[in-house]
Structure 1
Amino acid sequence: MEQKGQIIKSTILPSPSQVVPSQLSSRIKPRILIVGIVQWARQEVYLMSAKYEFEMCTAENREQFIEFCRERYQGVVAIYRNNVTSDVSQRIGKFDKILISNLPDSVKFICCYGVNYDTIDINACSNKKIMVSNTPDPVYNATADTVMFLILSTCRNAFAAQNNLRNGNWKFGLQRGTNLAGKTLGMYGMGGVGRVVAKRAYAFRMKIQYYSRSRLDIGTEAQLHAEYVTLNQLFQTSDIISLNLPLRPDTTHIIGQREFSQMKRGVIIINTSAGGLIDEQALVNALESGQVASAGLDVFENEPSIQSGLLTRDNVTLLPHISTFTSDTEYEMELLVLRNLQTALNTDKLVNLVKEQNVESLSDLFSLAFGGF
């Protein structure tokens, strides 16, 4: 059995009848369909297979998946969905209204790997009485590390400096960077990731301010050394702006030409949350005009496609969506999906029920992960 930290080449889990024949009983086990892969927590799945029947999705495309839902997947109670690293999930596509309507009536839970779940029609799930969960907590530290890396890279002009060095130019023609100490970091959204970023940024002696529809309590603000400001104040006074919001219809292109024009000239933009938050063409225009001095991006509007205007600029640090791309984080995320599955099948509840299905809770998912957005 592979251990955590090893890359597993095979993405097909053995069936329970192959794994633990001595533990099988005559009773019917709850069926779990894995749409995607389990890469790091395979040992935990092995142990869980004594109580639950796991089935790997083998559909070659969306049409075949819907066909299997009418026959092969009848009786499935819960779905483990990984749409981040899985070719299977990419071939099947979004869990939109049409696909949700074709899921077997036995499906009661969809447990997602990842924070964002914009590829799932939550309303359609709710109408079909399907509960949905995600995995916010494990991503906080890894994402905050990526935010700080991008801040350091953009402030110190590290990408251009590296290119200069590799091209044999040393520091010739290189623009000087700027220190982090004393700079104002504006957090647009102050949830789980934002709070970890704030602690790291304070260690660099940065001034921290934030805007969120849900203000933190005074005690938490004091602990984070963070000041609550209006959105206009955030735009006008921040040297660096980090986006920490979920992607939803009401947050798509929440940063565009109008917002860039309101910001301090020479502002630095950091985005590790969701590419669709920014109108990328507007960002390119702002970079060309100098309104935005630099940008650090881990996510993109139409990834993996990226605007050529971003690719050709050496004052932009680009990462291929790697904020949670560590074995430690991915293992923790997989464990949380499995915990959600176990809790769901044992208690009919989910550990991380998504906000739209938990409207009565004031401390719901997005309040925790994104500061109320």
Structure 2
Amino acid sequence: MTDLHIAPELTTETEHLSQKNHEKKKVVIFSQVFPEFEEKLRQDFDVIKINPKLGDVNQQIREAVTNAHGMIGAGRLLGKEQLKTAQHLEIVSSVSVGYDNYDVDYLKSRQIQLAHTPHVLTETTADTAFALLMSAARRIPELDQWTRQGQWQHTVSAGQFGMDIHGKTLGIIGLGHIGSAIARRGYYGFNMNIKYHGRREKLETAQQFQAEYLSLEELLTSSDFIVVAVDLNAQTKHLLGQAEFALMKSTSVLVNISRGAVIDEEALIEALQNQQIFGAGLDVFAQEPLQSSKLFELNNVVVTPHIGSATEATRYAMNKLAYENLVLALNGQKPKYSVV
């Protein structure tokens, strides 16, 4: 990635704290971070960078964390197996909002802080959700290929028509920050009726969009578009499976920008194959990276490679916040956003 200067300079407080180190602490970079922040880390800390090209990543991590005080990165499983050798680890700073890759209970038991980067990716991820919704509804990828292949010799037939979006019912599972941003787009941009489901009602948030709280079953049966925006945990794993797809309208579109395991992927494939639902837009999958899948054989699903926050501006902001969380923790301060 290029070293962009599109966000404000780091806070004076954080810069001051990073300079307080008399004896440099050790930091492990376990995935790519922006060059600007890697350089800053190298100025103030002893840095070890994990390199997948050098072999077993877990073994590299086990060796690197032995005397490490901090870690920064994303996309790696981190728990007892990877961190059992750590003697001085104070914080894992994740360049992500989700933290299902981390064994939170283990980190708590070791009194290792876990920080993440919420809010800075909210709007970008909501954009991605709506891009998937619109692409699946209007069959954009399918018709793009049809056009490129020279098949546009006559106007599209009824069998190629898409679904209207404006004025339809949008059901959101998880009306958190991202879910609310999706609701705002649907309500104000497309005059959609907003329904939502979650662990509890959110009356103040819901009032902005005249959103109605429904049970999961009611939401599935009444919504034209269903967007999943929940955290992955024991309660949400395979939240949607065969029984839930059976409740959905045959004209409905499902969008998932949360985590792949929230959906029973095999059940979804079956529902799409049987045209039990109209289509789906998926940015996350049970297995990532996804090298092959029956999903690739279907023309009623849009797939993207987990790009919810993948813009230069948003990834820069995430890197900046993860860097600040790390530096604050290593200087005895509270990170801006902590999970543990």
TM-score bracket for this pair, using the shorter chain length: 0.7 to 0.9
Call closer, same or farther: CA 1:175–1:345 in 2, change over 3 Å: same
Q: Is the 8 A contact 1:5 1:327 kept in 2?
A: no
Call closer, same or farther: CA 1:26–1:237 in 2, change over 3 Å: closer
Corresponding position of 1:216: 202
Q: Distance in 2 between matches of 1:148 and 1:24?
A: 43
Count of matched residue pairs: 321
**What are the residue-to-residue correspondences of 1:138-153 with 2, within 5 Å?**
138-153=120-135
Q: Distance in 2 between matches of 1:172 and 1:266?
A: 19
Deviations along 1:163-220, whole A, 9 cap, x unmatched? Answer: 2211222244452112211110000001111111111111111111100113213x32
Corresponding position of 2:108: 126
What letter corresponds to residue 57 of structure 1 in structure 2? I
**Which residues of structure 2 form unaligned runs of 5+?**
7-17
Deviations along 1:137-173, whole A, 9 cap, x unmatched? Answer: 1221111111111111111121221122112222444
Corresponding position of 1:331: 316
Corresponding position of 2:245: 260
Identity of aligned residues (%): 31
Q: Is the 8 A contact 1:111 1:134 kept in 2?
A: yes
Alpha-carbon distance, 1:44 to partner: 4.4
Corresponding position of 1:96: 79
Q: Distance in 2 between matches of 1:139 and 1:184?
A: 25
CA RMSD of aligned residues (A): 2.4
What letter corresponds to residue 184 of structure 1 in structure 2? T
**What are the residue-to-residue correspondences of 1:74-89 with 2, within 5 Å?**
74=67, 76-83=68-75
**Segment drifting more, 300-309 vs 317-326:** 300-309
Report whether the alignment pairs 1:114 with 2:96.
Answer: yes
Report whether the alignment pairs 1:191 with 2:176.
Answer: yes
TM-score, scaled relative to structure 2: 0.87
- State the SS of the aligned residue for 1:300: coil
What letter corresponds to residue 62 of structure 2 in structure 1? I
**Which residues of structure 1 form unaligned runs of 5+?**
7-22, 84-88, 358-373
**What are the residue-to-residue correspondences of 1:337-348 with 2, within 5 Å?**
337-348=322-333
**What are the residue-to-residue correspondences of 1:261-340 with 2, within 5 Å?**
261-305=246-290, 308-340=293-325
Q: Is the 8 A contact 2:70 2:90 kept in 1?
A: yes
Corresponding position of 2:4: 4
TM-score, scaled relative to structure 1: 0.79
Corresponding position of 2:36: 43
Call closer, same or farther: CA 1:231–1:55 in 2, change over 3 Å: same
Q: Is the 8 A contact 2:28 2:65 kept in 1?
A: no
Call closer, same or farther: CA 1:167–1:281 in 2, change over 3 Å: same
